[in-house]
Structure 1
Amino acid sequence: MLDFSAVVPSIPYIAKGIGVTLQIVVGATIIGLVLGILLALCKIGKITALRWFADFYTSIFRGTPLVLQLMIIYYAIPQLFDINIEPMPAAIIAFGLNSGAYISEIIRGGINAVDKGQLEASLALGIPYAKMMKDIILPQAMKNIMPALMNEFITLTKESAIVTVIGALDIMRRAYVVGGSSYRYLEALMIAGVMYYILTLILSFLGKKLEKRMSRSD
């Protein structure tokens, strides 16, 4: 039988984890977006070494579990370099590096989808490559890939639950603590699930609003 009476008083405690979750997701998204753009430009560039590096980076972070990457940064890096990394920075770095690999592929696809004629016209007019990418190609690519980027952002929000393995007090970790203290794990986890679901709905709504605004700006 479900009994939420022992868990309901702890809902505010679990809800405090929303802020932690959003900090991790926002920080990781910023890192992932910047890194993804740089990697995408390397992949479509003419410098072979940079293309190889970007492809190798992407294959590593897409080919290994995210939880493994997180634990390497939190446990192995301090062991190698004799430094201390707190759970929050470790989570943001791990998720940012991982997200950058996926975002780079999304952006690369968006850039390749832009009409080749615009690239040729820009080069014919003598527009520098960097300026052309910043002012002409990337803005159009971002409009095309906005749904995929929002999907990555939502996925990152849900996957952030694995930071519980390094003790970060996000939604999932707090639910686990409440479940352990009240011996009502199912109820606590169900509350955490509802919070993640609401976050996902809000992000999906904001994503659709942003897509509509960008489409009207065409």
Structure 2
Amino acid sequence: MARHATLRDTRGVALAHAVPGPGKGYPVNGSTVALTDKETAMSESHGDASPQGALQDRATLSHGTAVTSTEEALRKRHTARARSASGRTRAACRAAGVEADPAAVIAVPTEAAAKAANALRLSADALAALAKGAPDPAADARQARNAAAASVLAARIAQSHGAGALADAAYHAALKASQAAGMAAGREGMGRSEVLNAEAEAAEAAAVAAAEAAGWR
């Protein structure tokens, strides 16, 4: 049974206002949200404004949690692509026999070892950035793009050391993965487009398969 709280209008005339009991609800944004015992008690002593405010707060918190959860899920996807691309970078460098220290920073790399070092460093930097701070789909997608771009550098080195159809195919697959990652991180995707993210993931998987077929492990 509904209970009543006393409200007054602008003239000071007391008004009886029905207050839902426990388990009942108020309409909030077109939906009925049930009150807890505590919120019902608040309503009885302060009128219905307090429980409605509490319910709005709950709705706001729920929305914020959903946004955070979505951004965390996107970070996991972008990080997975970046790790995969990083693995391809290391494998291509090993296949070319030029795996180098990623800490070696060379402004204008010309030798294969220097190029490999730069590719490994770019890849490591991308993974490090993805492990810091709060999830940011746009920024996270850019790091995944950077990791994919680094893998193209490594694939080019491996291609030059292993001429053949499979090496060529692996290089072109790496290039396509980098382009797809760029689209996912670009203005249209901003790391949030399900279609572009899925295309980037598919291109990354194809690049992994092509690299393995070329013997880049």
Fold in common (TM above 0.5): no
The structure with the greater share of residues assigned to strand is 2
**RCO comparison, higher one (Cα < 8 Å, 6+):** 1
- With the length of structure 2 as denominator, give the TM-score of the two structures: 0.27
Larger Rg: 2
- With the length of structure 1 as denominator, give the TM-score of the two structures: 0.27
